[in-house]
Amino acid sequence: MTEVAILISGGGSNMVRLVESMAQDHPGRPCLVLSNKAEAGGLAKAQSMGVETAVVDHRPFKGDRAAFGHAVQAELDRAGAEFVCYAGFMRIMDPGFAGAWRGRALNIHPSLLPKYPGLNTHERALEAGDTEAGCTVHEVTEDLDDGPIRGQGRVPILPGDTAKDLAARVLGVEHQLYPKVLKRVLCGDHTPVELNEG
């Protein structure tokens, strides 16, 4: 059984699906939900599902990313974490932390990487006139949104779509994709998961 820690910053909708997916017939177990924000709505959801939670506020570290990484690592060690899922976690971890978890950490990003790393992905896809969008689960490396791709989900961009419309459509696929990728990766299978809502 692999002890899985999930990092969030907000509502944690992907975290909820990941925890639910590990409830039975799964090689992973949620050992911790950690947020950099005490007010993150996902913390109460995790507690209601019986998952231990922790908060490591990034602000006292004033941009000392390595010190923040050490504080997060201390909580992961305390919980016995063996694998990390970033799920709506809005902090960029220092290379030392990312390197320590290389091969044992996944992130979900709301674009079809390598297109649109970083922020405002839906606005950028609409601005570019793309006809499809989607999400990517990738291994976390020292480079932002750049690790080996372990799954992608595609959705159509429809006439008149706003960024909000597109975000909602992509999020629905994220909720299907991430649990499938986590289970496959924890089973040692690196074959990318491909979902297509087109």
Among 6, 7, 12, 153, binds ligand GRF (CB under 6 A): 12
26, 109, 122, 175: which is the annotated catalytic residue?
A: 109
Q: Is residue 115 exposed (0-12), middle (13-18) or buried (19+ Cβ within 10 Å)?
A: middle
**Nearest residue to ligand GRF on Cβ basis:** 88
Among 5, 6, 7, 13, binds ligand GRF (CB under 6 A): 13
Q: Which residues are paired to 8 by β-bridges? A: 35
36 binds ligand GRF (CB under 6 A): no
Instruction: Tell how many helices (H) and how many strands (E) occur in the chain.
Output: 6, 8
Q: In what order do the strands lie in the sheet with 105-109?
A: 53-55, 28-35, 2-8, 83-86, 105-109, 132-139, 149-156, 193-196
174 binds ligand GRF (CB under 6 A): yes
87 binds ligand GRF (CB under 6 A): yes
| Helix, strand, coil in percent for the chain, rounding step 5 | 35, 25, 40
x/- mask, ligand GRF, residues 132-171, rule CB under 6 A, reads ---x-----------------------------------x
Query: Any catalytic annotation for residue 70?
Result: no
The Cα angle at residue 92 between residues 100 and 97, in degrees rounded to 5: 15
Among 28, 110, 134, 153, binds ligand GRF (CB under 6 A): 110
| Closest distance to ligand GRF from the beta carbon of 153 (Å) | 11
Which residues neighbour 17 within 8 Å (Cβ) at sequence distance 6 or greater? 175, 178, 179
The interface region with ligand GRF, picked from 4-12, 20-28, 67-75, 190-198 by CB under 6 A, is 4-12
| Closest distance to ligand GRF from the beta carbon of 166 (Å) | 10
The interface region with ligand GRF, picked from 3-11, 63-71, 137-145, 152-160 by CB under 6 A, is 3-11
| Closest distance to ligand GRF from the beta carbon of 9 (Å) | 7
179 binds ligand GRF (CB under 6 A): no
Would you please indicate which residues are annotated as catalytic (active-site) residues?
109
